[in-house]
Structure 1
Amino acid sequence: MLIHYFYIPPEVRRWLKEAWDIYRQKPVLVIALLGFSAGLPYLLVFTTLTAWLRDEGIERTTIGFFAWVGITYSVKVFWAPVVDRLRLPLLNRLGQRRSWILLGQCGIAAGLMLMSIAHPQNSLLLIALAALLVAFSAATQDVALDALRIESAADEQQGAMSAAYVFGYRLALLVTGAGALYLAEFTNWHITYLVMALLMVVGMLAILWADEPPHQSDAERMRNELLLVDDIMGRPMHLQQRPRWQRWLLSAVICPVLEFFQRNGRFALLILGFIALYRLSDITMGIMANPFYLDLGYSKPEIASVAKVFGFFLTIFGSVLCGVLVVKYGIFRPLLLGAVMVAVTNLLFATLAMVGDLGTPPLPALALVISADNLSGGIASTAFIAYLSSLANKNYTATQYALFSSLMTLPGKFISGFSGWVVDVAGYAEFFVLAAALGLPAIVLVLVLMRHHKREQQDSESIPEAP
């Protein structure tokens, strides 16, 4: 063993033992496996699906419209309260969270199997409907999984839970990105999607192994929400006397929104606008990434090696680097850095497109642009997730986080539906310049948030302490 050949200081050994004790705990291992289950369907209805459609000769304009399937992820907030409160009759023995997660996993597997038996040339509608089923089921799984992750561990363990989830999710993206492209090259797309459907067994076994977390009692929840509503309205509302459906609507839908606006005041609208615009640039360009690589003349194994495998490690590096930057400089400077890097990276894609007009660029050129893209994506996404997590109130984490994550992707998913049309009309270079311009509002809003945060800190420091 390496430990016999290299000297390891006692402090490092103690840290490694503590890390081992944390990450070998059952809840952490379960979340890592469920993170794989959550990440598996994403690319299969997004960039990997666009590669399949382009490989089959489907027009780019049609491919662009498939981005709207991903809008399902962005509107999950509308049924998140149902997932949070409604008990499934047949699966209720598993518990509130586990039953909804298992139902979502079954829907994902069924949708992927339907996609595997369809052919884009004569069953494009079936593929679209099956992809919609996959996306809806995956979004449902995400709502329940976020709640399970937060409720399954104490606050001091949430860092380990998040790290395990991100690792499983990124590993799934590698499998459904590079793995799917390699498998499609040496077999075909139908076998590829069938294999991906079978991999959902990993998540199903994990949720059967998992323990249902404890929940707040209905009486305790109602008591806290009555205090919130009475405080906002300035008088007792006597909600116990109202019909049951009104109490449910208040508890599941209205209170999470009221609490957010009460805490942030009028500045809440600016925060929500920032959430909607921050990832607009990279989501818009993402739908055309694989068709762009293929149209430049790169083979699927080359794309898998550079864009997926190589990019995977750079994304992880960007995430780790961002974590250090957040600890050292706070959340807003990394947010600004990520926003600027994403916009600049799109300009690099535009340059690559102009070089591609003269012939297939050398592979190192693709590797350089992919490196910048994944590094900037790792920094931007990690900083943004940290920011969203800081916004959510722990009493309403599932619903509020669903609201934030839905708003985060909805504008980008909608606009990206026109990406294929823009490429067909104007070209790839012009499309990437436009995508870079879409990142400018996010940069401006980060600066506004930094200024507001600094003012709040100054105001809090100027308040004299009580004697």
Structure 2
Amino acid sequence: MTQSHTEAPHNWRQTLGELLDRRVLAMLLLGFSAGVPLLLIFSSLSLWLREAGIERQAVTFFSWAALGYSFKFVWAPLIDTLPLPWLTRWLGRRRAWLLVSQLAIITAIVLMALIDPAGGGDNLAHMALAAVLLGFSSATQDIVIDAYRIESAPPRLQALMSSTYIAGYRIAMVASGAGALFLASAFGSELGAYSYSAWSSTYLIMAAVMLVGVLTTLVIREPETYRPKALTHYSALDYLRLVLVFALMAGAFVGGFFLSGTLFGDLKHWLGGGALGAFLLETLHFGLAVGVAAFVGWALVQLGAIDRPMAHAVWIEPALDFFARYGLKTALLLLALIGLYRISDIVLGVISNVFYQDIGFSKPQIATAVKTFGVFVSIAGGVLGGLMATHYGVVRILMLGAILSAATNLIFVVLAHAGADVTLLYVAVGADNLAAGLASAAFVAFLSSLTNVSFTAVQYAIFSSLMTLLPKVLGGYSGSLVDGIGYPGFFVFTTLIGVPVIALVWIAGRRLDIAEERAGAMRKCEA
């Protein structure tokens, strides 16, 4: 079962009425649940560690907690495959995994609250492990929520559900970012006057806030799901062996990546080569780690650690299904579009705060414009994108989002020449966030339409990981680009790299329309 990519335009009364659909409102609360953990791992935790007197070098140790978000597609097949004892029978496949991931998130936040990083001994290492648990659990929750959203409603609601999910996510980031800092300050912790009890109380409150997600999980309905028949007859021991094989593959990937880190670091130092050379080496580094994990998995299957048909159904069939449904050329085109769609705004966003500071804006001005005004504009953009995609069709708004994401970057060229003009700052931030919110809502709905509900969690996890991989890697070299061509040239560059995306959206839309016309003609002939 797959979803249609195009829907007949809705009238506005019907579109606005669907905003009150219980499934659309549920995504607002699940989006909130998904957004709470992120800043508790990064910005809020960084400030906690800074106030606790932890050296800046040690803080980088906590970047490992982000690995779960980048590689969630690796264990997504287990979410699609593995039943949970008793819970799956009680709640259903999606809600069971959702509840387990949320309880794991709460446990990780509580563990962080119970550890004083300034306490010496192994406290800092224990805090890092708790942060990694939080990242892994949060990424797992993301996998399940994405699958639940796609399976719980027809295509016509996906854009609205995407927009309310994004709105809930953004609201949660305000709560766990600015809200957590406000609480820690109110409880008496400041730079130079550190209070462990203040931060501990703050994180315990954030753990309690996660109960919003738990209650939502218990109230919502389990969606109808479709499991491959090949996965319905295995025993608990078969699933346990699958988990052990996954754990060994994950260990092989982590070991291969970090053990070879010194070697690739030395290679970058010896070879030089600038940003392009560093990018190619990092790509090779990542590919080597993936190759080690794949070899370990292949060897374990050959040795009979798990049943071969089961391994094929879990790891291979989701990828083969995507190529089988769209054909090689269209599938590669869609993957290119997925990997490049957000490149224009993500690459700019990496260095935007540094840019604001470099041209003379103060930190309070940046915080007010970006973290407050920008967040609310992005929420409005997401809701607007969802409504327009529902009314006009996803592909049309996908095209509009691609055009706006590239074009609004030119406002930053004007700001770079104007300097610290507060009015122009708000124009730039507002336009950028409105375009990003609109594009994100349409893009999430588009990705949802590409999945087969027999492999929802796996395919969407692959899409969402691919969506940010290249933009984030390229964004890492944005500082070097600015040093070479200056801020105005850099912002023109971010506009130009968005132009091919517009062409990809147009070509993909044409190909999908042709494919659906053929499918419709075949259905009529069969009837």
TM-score above 0.5? yes
> Does structure 2 retain, via aligned residues, the 8 Å contact 1:54–1:291?
no
Residue number in structure 2 paired with 1:86? 82
Cα separation, 1, equivalents of 2:53 and 2:411:
27
Residue number in structure 2 paired with 1:378? 437
Is 1:100 aligned to residue 97 of structure 2?
yes
> Does structure 1 retain, via aligned residues, the 8 Å contact 2:230–2:313?
no
> Does structure 2 retain, via aligned residues, the 8 Å contact 1:177–1:308?
no
Cα separation, 2, equivalents of 1:207 and 1:16:
26
Percent identical across equivalent pairs? 44
Cα separation, 2, equivalents of 1:105 and 1:456:
39
Question: Structure 1's 465 and 19: CA in aligned 2 closer, same or farther, altered over 3 A?
Answer: closer
Alpha-carbon displacement from aligned partner over 1:416-451 (angstroms, at most 9, x marks no partner): 344456667876556545444443432332233244
Counterpart among 191, 206, 215 of residue 205 in structure 1: 215
Residue number in structure 1 paired with 2:415? 352
Cα separation, 2, equivalents of 1:308 and 1:431:
23
Q: Which amino acid aligns with 1:201?
A: L
Cα separation, 1, equivalents of 2:443 and 2:69:
17
Which sections of structure 1, spanning at least 5 residues, go unmatched?
Answer: 1-11, 224-241
Is 1:39 aligned to residue 42 of structure 2?
no
Q: Which amino acid aligns with 2:349?
A: G
> Does structure 2 retain, via aligned residues, the 8 Å contact 1:342–1:380?
yes
Cα separation, 2, equivalents of 1:95 and 1:462:
37
Which sections of structure 2, spanning at least 5 residues, go unmatched?
Answer: 1-11, 191-197, 234-303
Q: Which amino acid aligns with 1:258?
A: L
Alpha-carbon displacement from aligned partner over 1:304-361 (angstroms, at most 9, x marks no partner): 43223322332233234434543565433422332232223334335434544xxxx1
> By how many angstroms is 1:70 displaced?
4.5
SS of equivalent to 1:87: coil
Residue number in structure 1 paired with 2:138? 138
Larger mean CA deviation between 294-303 and 279-288 belongs to 294-303
Aligned pairs, number = 429
Q: Which amino acid aligns with 2:100?
A: L
Is 1:251 aligned to residue 313 of structure 2?
yes
> Does structure 2 retain, via aligned residues, the 8 Å contact 1:67–1:414?
no
Residue number in structure 1 paired with 2:449? 390
Counterpart among 258, 267, 277 of residue 340 in structure 2: 277
Cα separation, 2, equivalents of 1:212 and 1:205:
14
Alignment of 1:177-326 (within 5 A): 177-180=177-180, 191=199, 195-210=205-220, 212-213=222-223, 215-216=225-226, 219=229, 245-266=307-328, 267-293=330-356, 298=361, 301-326=364-389
Q: Which amino acid aligns with 1:253?
A: W
Q: Which amino acid aligns with 2:377?
A: L
TM-score normalised by length of structure 1: 0.72
> Does structure 1 retain, via aligned residues, the 8 Å contact 2:162–2:444?
no
Cα separation, 1, equivalents of 2:523 and 2:96:
51
Larger mean CA deviation between 81-90 and 207-216 belongs to 207-216
Counterpart among 482, 494, 500 of residue 441 in structure 1: 500
Is 1:337 aligned to residue 334 of structure 2?
no
Question: Structure 1's 78 and 433: CA in aligned 2 closer, same or farther, altered over 3 A?
Answer: same
> By how many angstroms is 1:83 displaced?
1.8
Cα separation, 1, equivalents of 2:409 and 2:126:
33
Question: Structure 1's 351 and 185: CA in aligned 2 closer, same or farther, altered over 3 A?
Answer: farther
Question: Structure 1's 182 and 280: CA in aligned 2 closer, same or farther, altered over 3 A?
Answer: farther
> Does structure 2 retain, via aligned residues, the 8 Å contact 1:182–1:304?
no
> Does structure 1 retain, via aligned residues, the 8 Å contact 2:402–2:498?
yes
Q: Which amino acid aligns with 2:80?
A: D
Question: Structure 1's 413 and 463: CA in aligned 2 closer, same or farther, altered over 3 A?
Answer: same
Residue number in structure 2 paired with 1:239? none
Cα separation, 1, equivalents of 2:217 and 2:43:
27
Cα separation, 2, equivalents of 1:174 and 1:384:
23
> Does structure 2 retain, via aligned residues, the 8 Å contact 1:51–1:291?
no
> By how many angstroms is 1:81 displaced?
0.7
Counterpart among 72, 88, 108 of residue 76 in structure 1: 72
Alignment of 1:158-177 (within 5 A): 162=162, 164-177=164-177
> By how many angstroms is 1:250 displaced?
2.7
- CA RMSD, Structure 1 to Structure 2 (Å): 4.8
